[in-house]
Structure 1
Amino acid sequence: MEEILEKIEDLKKQQEQLVFQDFQEETAWVIGSRIREQAVEKNYPVTISITLGRRRLFYCSMPGTAPINDDWIRRKENTVYKFHKSSYEMSLYMQLKQDEIGRRYGLDCAEYAAAGGAVPLILKNSGVVGAVTVSGLAENEDHDLVVGVIKDYLSARAVLKPDK
């Protein structure tokens, strides 16, 4: 239990760092393309989606994926939009509470997933405005793939908040 609590705290701190000054269609293309490049390099069978206000700005499905990955994408994105936190944090929270997202919150499990891979797209002075989502790997790997690319993108623009 202590390990899960620590990981949740780490994810909360991580989310505080992943804040964009602005986010445009071009930003989605760059981030989505970089996730795809890493997937190609590592031969990852993933589906990638980036939404802004529920508007899909980037989508890619790599070899080895199936229509079920589209369902996972939708359900993980719904979780981000509902709770304004990563779907991985929600997964860990559900593990901590030994519960399921549907039962705990009265949600339809066909529409929401507490499974890692969707990261909130946070805009400075606006909050959560979208989601960057990957499906196809283990939940922590989906999450880490997204976060790694976002961190690199923000670092290159010198807007990543330093660790506290």
Structure 2
Amino acid sequence: MTANNPTVTAFNPDSTVPQPAGLLEALIARVEAEINELQFPHFSKDDSLNLGLLLVELGKSRKLPIAIDITKGDQVLFHVALDGATPDNEHWVRAKQRTAARYEIPSLLVGLRGRLHGGRIEDHGWFDESTYAPHGGCFPVYVAGVGAVATVTVSGLPQQQDHDLVVEALREILESMQPG
């Protein structure tokens, strides 16, 4: 690497340039580990409110222009747009939410797995981009022994940052549920 090139440490899902071998697989492994880690003992409407309010607190304290959504089946449990969020974020929230609900894995993981053998899942004719978005920001809420019971979505940042914000909040809420 030359002095002008920053050190590449992780796969960038928004990059259009080739990236070093192994970075995609490492990010996939990281997201799969997050799925295994973030298994809740339960997830009630009160839990969804606490998660939504935590995301609002994180977003406001960091001045993030995000929309936040928590959905269970067809029922919206929590939804808000913070200052700076746009109507386009609403489209992205719904498309990422549909993707995570359809595949029962984080929307980021759908897009990453689609790249494993080159290309993107969006390049396949059967993938409807008007309905789905395989971009980071939506993570299913998994209840241990049950599976995915809801989704939590953030839109407004680059997709990796959307994903990481959701994971940060899920970790904090899960930790607050631990006896102690």
- TM-score relative to the length of structure 1: 0.91
1:3-152 equivalences under 5 Å are 3-104=23-124, 106-152=126-172
How far did residue 105 of structure 1 move?
7.3
Where does structure 1 differ by over 4 angstroms across 4 or more consecutive aligned residues? none
Q: CA RMSD in A?
A: 1.5
User: Which amino acid in the other structure matches residue 46 of structure 2?
Assistant: E
Show the counterpart of 1:162.
none
Contact 2:52/2:78, CA 8 A, preserved across alignment? yes
Distance 1:22 1:106 in 2: 35
User: Which amino acid in the other structure matches residue 78 of structure 1?
Assistant: R
| Percent of aligned positions that are identical | 28
Distance 2:97 2:168 in 1: 18
Question: SS of the residue aligned with 1:153?
Answer: helix
How far did residue 135 of structure 1 move?
0.1
In structure 1, stretches of 5+ residues that fail to align are 160-164
Distance 1:16 1:22 in 2: 15
User: Which amino acid in the other structure matches residue 58 of structure 1?
Assistant: F
Distance 1:14 1:148 in 2: 10
Q: Which has the higher contact order (CA 8 A, sep 6+)?
A: 1
Distance 1:128 1:98 in 2: 28
Question: SS of the residue aligned with 2:116?
Answer: helix
How far did residue 137 of structure 1 move?
0.3
Distance 2:139 2:30 in 1: 14
Query: Would the alpha carbon gap of residues 32 and 105 (structure 1) be closer, same or farther in structure 2, given more than 3 Å must change?
Result: farther
Contact 1:54/1:130, CA 8 A, preserved across alignment? no
Contact 2:52/2:70, CA 8 A, preserved across alignment? yes
User: Which amino acid in the other structure matches residue 149 of structure 2?
Assistant: V
User: Which amino acid in the other structure matches residue 3 of structure 1?
Assistant: L
Question: SS of the residue aligned with 1:125?
Answer: coil
Distance 1:29 1:127 in 2: 20
Larger of the two Rg values belongs to structure: 2
Higher helix share: 1
Distance 1:123 1:104 in 2: 32
In structure 2, stretches of 5+ residues that fail to align are 1-20
Distance 1:111 1:101 in 2: 13
